[in-house]
Structure 1
Amino acid sequence: MKSEMSPDDLPIPEIPKCLQTRTVTKTIMSFADAKEYHRYRQAAHACIWAPQEGSSNFGELRAAVMMHLRFDGTFGFPGGLINSGEDIVDGLNREMAEEIGWSPTEHPVTWSDYYNTQVEHNKNLLLHFFIKKITLDQFTALEKMCPTAPEYGDEVLGSVRVPLYTMGNMYSGLPAFLNNRFVGTAKQQLLLAVHHVKILTEVEINEVMYKSNNLKLGPNRI
């Protein structure tokens, strides 16, 4: 598939104040600027999400957001390295098909889903991040497809829905989830994504980060 548009003219997305840490702001650049790094490898990942109303026994649902447990024990988003000469969105759709059973012909990721680019100079690597909205029915069907993907059980050890609520003890749920190990910038990308699509407000993200950092040593958070 060929891209119908280019992100060259898109500005760097707004970063909420609570996420304006040096590790985030230092590495984010426009796609046009990233093209100057000709010898850097490229990777692309996508946050797949679906609106979801209602609540569970544990909190308000708001949305379904997919991440997965990787082979190295960290959480990340589907995607991976782009082959030399391969179109970025083609490579991303290919990686997602291999990892989670994604069907590019049914609902492909395109440049209209592009969010930002980050650079890791120490690895000579450009990281392109996309945010793809699908319906909840499509999301549920994708979850069922994940175990049939070629890389399932090898590179990918399981898909998860991110808990987007905070339970009554003020720690369980999203604050606790954020204390897992994440690959690369995946934790930052998760928070940027839920802010960008208005799942959580900046105030809510700030509160979640505070609880995640300061309440994790509580005596019993179950």
Structure 2
Amino acid sequence: MSVDSAPRDFPIPEIPSCLQLRTVTKGLIPLAESKKLDNYRMGAHVCLWARQEGRSMFGEYRAAVMMQLRFDGTFGFPGGLVDKGEDMMEGLNRELMEEIGWDPSAHPVTWSDYYSTQVAGDRKLVLHFFIKEVTLEQFIALEKSCLQSRDYGKEVMGSIRVPLYTMDNMYNGLPAFLNNKFAGTSKQQLLLALHHSKLLTEHEISDVILKSQNLKLAPNRF
């Protein structure tokens, strides 16, 4: 599917029972409904990830998942607002080029990578979320190109990999990471992406959420 070949519709994705929460499902609509919203600004973000085998002393890698530290001190996904009159897919690939040095001519994000659409009515925003798998080699190259991107040090303070393991103290790793400050619904999107990409099972997601809420473990570093 080409970058600008927009489908007629995508339904709301199936949400696992452990994430059937208002903070996750609020504002989710089919793609077709978003096209009826006039005077709404449009944005798009993407979860880029690569399969990664092996273990470290802290836990199993599973995959490299990219997020970024934003200018406002929160974590989010690469992407941003689309300019008025700009095609949405072209706008997303442009944002990725500006933020992480993405080459849309070689590896464009397309509608085949689409996951969901969410409306933030209070801010008059329509936000589209994509999930794209790349090779580990491509992922590492992107991490390096981030440093040379136009927005590095301005809108983007750096890219990070999400730790997908839970350490022996049952808090450090992904549970601790989830207690950072995230932009908008980025934390919920992360968990949905991990489930959709089969990197974590529904049981594992439920378990990591529970452990992230056990702040009694937070001071224990090892």
Give runs of aligned pairs for residues 149-164 of structure 1, distance below 5 A. Answer: 149-164=149-164
Deviates more, 1:211-220 or 1:56-65: 211-220
Unaligned stretches of 5+ residues in structure 1: none
Q: TM-score scaled to structure 1, two decimals?
A: 0.96
- Letter in structure 2 aligned against 1:104: P
Task: Compute the displacement of 1:11 (Å).
Answer: 1.6
Gaps in structure 2 of 5+ consecutive residues: none
Check whether the contact 1:46–1:79 (CA below 8 A) recurs between aligned residues: yes
The secondary structure found in structure 2 opposite 1:53 is strand
After TM superposition, give the deviation of residue 5 of structure 1 in Å: 3.8
Q: How much has 1:218 moved relative to structure 2?
A: 4.3
Q: 1:132 Cα shift? A: 0.9
SS in 1 for 2:84: coil
Judged with a 3 Å threshold, the aligned counterparts in structure 2 of structure 1 residues 18 and 153 are, in CA distance, closer, same or farther, namely same
Residues 7 and 114 of structure 1 are in contact (CA less than 8 Å); yes or no, is this contact kept in structure 2? no
Aligned counterparts of 1:102 and 1:4: Cα–Cα separation in 2? 17
Question: 1:216 deviation in Å?
Answer: 5.1
Cα distance in 1, alignment partners of residues 14 and 133 from structure 2: 19
CA apart distance, 1:18: 1.2
Over 6 Å off, 4+ runs: none
1:63 lines up with 2:79 in the alignment: no
Aligned to 1:115: 115
Cα distance in structure 2, aligned partners of 1:42 and 1:4: 15
Partners of 1:216 and 1:101 in 2: CA distance? 40
Correspondence for 1:95: 95
Give the aligned CA root-mean-square deviation in angstroms.
1.4
Secondary structure of 1:189's counterpart equals helix
Q: TM-score, normalised by structure 2?
A: 0.96
Conserved 8 A contact 2:169-2:217: no
Deviation at 1:217, TM superposition (A): 5.0
Equivalent residues in 2 for 1:1-222, closer than 5 Å = 3=3, 5-215=5-215, 218-222=218-222
* Number of corresponding residues: 222
Deviates more, 1:86-95 or 1:3-12: 3-12
Q: Secondary structure at the match of 1:194?
A: helix
Percent identical among aligned pairs is: 66
Following the alignment from structure 1 to structure 2, what is the Cα–Cα distance between the partners of residues 2 and 216?
Answer: 49
Alpha-carbon distance change, 167 to 99 in structure 1, aligned in 2, over 3 angstroms = same
Distance apart, 1:17 and its partner CA: 1.0
Shift of 1:125: 0.2
Q: Distance in 2 between matches of 1:49 and 1:90?
A: 20
